[in-house]
Amino acid sequence: MSGSGSDGLFGALFDRGAAGTGDQAWLQAMLDTEAALARAVERAGLAPAGSGTAVTAVARAVFFDNGALGRHAAMTGNPVPALVRALTELLPAEADGAARAVHRGATSQDIIDTAAMLIASRALDATLADLSAAAGGAAALARDHAETVMAGRTLLQQAVPVTFGLVAAGWLTAIDEARQDLHRIRSSRLAVQFGGAAGTLASLGDAGPTVAALLAEELGLADPVLPWHTNRHRIVELAAALTGTCAALGKIARDVTLLAQNEIAEVHEGAADSGTGQRGGSSTMPHKQNPVAAIVILGCTKRTPGLFATLAAAAEQEHQRAAGAWHAEWETLSDLLRLTASAATWSTDLLTHLRPDPQRMRANLDATGGLPLAEHVAAMLARSMGRLAAYDLVAQAAARAVASGIALPDALLADKESAAKLAEAGISQAQLQAAIRPEGYLGATGEFVHRALSAHAACDAALAS
């Protein structure tokens, strides 16, 4: 569970978000769970007054040796037994009876699973904050470039015109959908785990459900219908939402890497990162300015599907306690939370500093001599000669245009057959030139950008309430 560490060799790349999933964070989350349990047990009348306060006072990670706990974990399969012993030994002698509140009614899985929920809740809070900022950056791009015409691209080839605002609106909508999914998980699906040895809480008698409810209240987590020791749907839901978030961020990053290629050069990342010189440089090529933020986002997001697959595979767990599948979750979930948080932080950087180049966008579109508007021309001809015949006629003209290096209108007018068909359809040269103007063939682009921005405002309001 150590992660790369934000100050490690790769930490500034892949542990850039404030996920808090390292060993120290896990230790504190387990201690927070034990302290909350002691308070809940006291509130339920099962431990002397002051027990919860006494346990909470010593439940601080700085008082514990992670290395020693890890070595003991090799003897028991998890670090909780050693943690409980060390926590109990830290209680002062005058805290009479407080030891009875430590780990009362719990099993190791209760502590680790609840700690995992705390880790997730804290990581999601940080990730959601970064996603909100990233969405704000995408919204600004959508708003500012709603009418900035550029080539749409399908299968990596120029298609029909779009606007950069529509592209950014697509990014925005995907981020907002991810935010809503993560918020739902954060609000309702992160629950305490408290079932004791086999999910019955038998050691607490009739007080078990009461203590579970009090524990949930103490930690600000949901109180589940019953213990979920081998029902891992919550973990799978969380993992799916994180992976979906990374899919949305990875798509944005991939678009940027493609649009930032020298031959296209329609967007550029922010140029500098304070204290490290020019960002994007090469170890050997002085001219390079690589899209670092987009590249590192992809470095994070391409690892997450495999982590999700591991957690989904681990969800099949036998009887009342899994042998190995539960253990496979700990570091896997930590990595998934960490990489998602890092991708979200990098995405904020990317989207708030991205510099579109409208002139280059238009130049790339114009360089094709009207070919991206071939569909528009074919639609005009279809009124008089039928859709398929019009398609074939324009396709042949497009092929001639490419072969001869001329514009589509010139290829149509230079051919006797296509020129005659244009005349029959009543399409003049001026109308043909107007038909290849990209501003005239944007369809519902403006409406879609408006919808995305309106939905974003509603998303912000809903998540803030």
**Catalytic residue ranges:** 282, 321
Q: Are strands 149-154 and 157-163 parallel, antiparallel or unpaired?
A: antiparallel
* Tokens describing residue 325: 């599948």
DSSP string, 45-106: TSS-TTHHHHHHHH--GGGS-HHHHHHHHHHHSSSHHHHHHHHHHHS-TTSTTGGGGTTTT-
- Chain center to CA of 424: 54
User: Which position has the token pair 């050693």?
Assistant: 82
Going from the C-alpha of 272 to that of each of 15, 169, 260, the distances in angstroms are 20, 26, 16
Residue closest to 150 by CA, chosen among 173, 172, 167, 174 = 167
Residue 131: C-alpha distances to residues 34, 125, 343, 463 (Å) = 32, 10, 9, 12
Query: Longest C-alpha distance within the chain, in Å?
Result: 104
